[in-house]
């Protein structure tokens, strides 16, 4: 699938202690298939909320979201779940690895949920770990890996099914300089493969790895520039 994103007047309002709080304020955004976008902004500006909407993890209060020509908010929950599982990969600052599973078993998880046969999913997981340079760490538990290695396992898990859209929320936030460079190289490689990339980051140098930088303030997109 080729991923094209169109958000129109998307608003997300919560109630905190009985008071309304607007996380997204009539956000409109178009991202073409194959773009590599970075989003910057202060904490609490709405970046992660927007990513959750784009990743079909949250339904906004109002607005329209068209993904590859489909109005995803008009779909039933099962349809959104299948679309997310088949075509979207998530990379987070916190790795969310299962501490009781080895690296290869963690990478296999989304394939198991997709119903892929055991032998096939093991081969796919091993290939994904080799791609991120961890072919020698496949049987290690997360606690036996460095932070950078854990993030690469998480990256392999997010991309093992070759998603058309990769959403990365502060993927280098807990990493040292060398590991940060490694993850950014992997994101660029996925973009070269044809994946659409949307990355949230507080790191200005990481944002420069993208081809387009968006700025969010108080629930609104206030900047949009091409690099």
Largest Cα–Cα separation, the chain? 53
| Amino acid 73: pLDDT | 87
Q: Which residues pair with 214 in a beta bridge?
A: 39, 224
User: 142 vs 16, which has greater pLDDT?
Assistant: 142
Residue 137, burial from CB neighbour count under 10 angstroms (0-12, 13-18, 19+): buried
Task: Provide mean pLDDT across the span 200-221.
Answer: 96
Q: Within 13 Å and on the Cβ side, how many CA atoms surround 45?
A: 17
Cβ(101)–Cβ(141) under 8 Å? yes
Please write the tens of the pLDDT for every residue from 193-206. Answer: 999 999 999 999 99
| Amino acid 114: pLDDT | 81
pLDDT of residue 18 exceeding 80, the answer is yes
Position 82 confidence tier, pLDDT thresholds 50, 70, 90: confident
Mean pLDDT of all residues in the chain? 93
pLDDT of residue 3 exceeding 80, the answer is no
pLDDT of residue 1 exceeding 70, the answer is no
Task: Provide mean pLDDT across the span 18-22.
Answer: 89
Instruction: Answer positive or negative: Cα dihedral of 133, 92, 4, 28.
Output: negative
The two structure tokens encoding residue 195: 């994946």
Q: Within 13 Å and on the Cβ side, how many CA atoms surround 11?
A: 10
| Structural domain range at position 134 | 5-226
Task: Provide mean pLDDT across the span 52-69.
Answer: 92
| Amino acid 151: pLDDT | 94
User: 114 vs 180, which has greater pLDDT?
Assistant: 180
Query: Number of structural domains, the chain?
Result: 1
Q: Which residues pair with 143 in a beta bridge?
A: none
| Amino acid 2: pLDDT | 67
d(CA 165, CA 55): 9
Residue 219's CATH number: 3.40.50.300
Cβ(57)–Cβ(72) under 8 Å? no
| Amino acid 34: pLDDT | 95
């Amino acid at each position: 699938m080729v991923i094209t994103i169109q958000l129109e007047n998307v608003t997300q309002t919560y109630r905190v202690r009985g008071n309304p709080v607007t996380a997204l304020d009539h956000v409109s955004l178009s991202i073409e298939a194959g773009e590599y976008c970075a989003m910057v902004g202060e904490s609490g500006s709405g970046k992660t909320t927007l990513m959750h909407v784009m990743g079909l993890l949250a339904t906004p209060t109002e607005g329209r979201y068209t993904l590859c020509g489909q109005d995803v908010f008009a779909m039933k929950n099962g349809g959104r779940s299948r679309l997310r599982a088949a075509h979207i990969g998530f990379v987070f600052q916190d790795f969310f690895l299962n501490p009781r599973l080895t690296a290869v078993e963690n990478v296999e998880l989304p394939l198991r949920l997709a119903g892929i046969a055991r032998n096939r999913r093991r081969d796919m997981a091993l290939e994904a770990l080799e791609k991120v340079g961890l072919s020698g760490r496949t049987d290690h538990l997360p606690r036996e890996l460095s932070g950078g290695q854990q993030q690469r396992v998480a990256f392999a898990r997010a991309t093992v099914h070759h998603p058309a859209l990769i959403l990365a929320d502060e993927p280098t936030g807990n990493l040292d300089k060398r590991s940060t460079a490694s993850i950014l190289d992997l994101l660029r490689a996925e973009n070269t493969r044809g994946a659409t990339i949307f990355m949230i980051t507080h790191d200005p140098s990481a944002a420069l790895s993208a081809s387009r930088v968006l700025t969010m303030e108080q629930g609104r997109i206030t900047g949009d520039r091409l690099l």
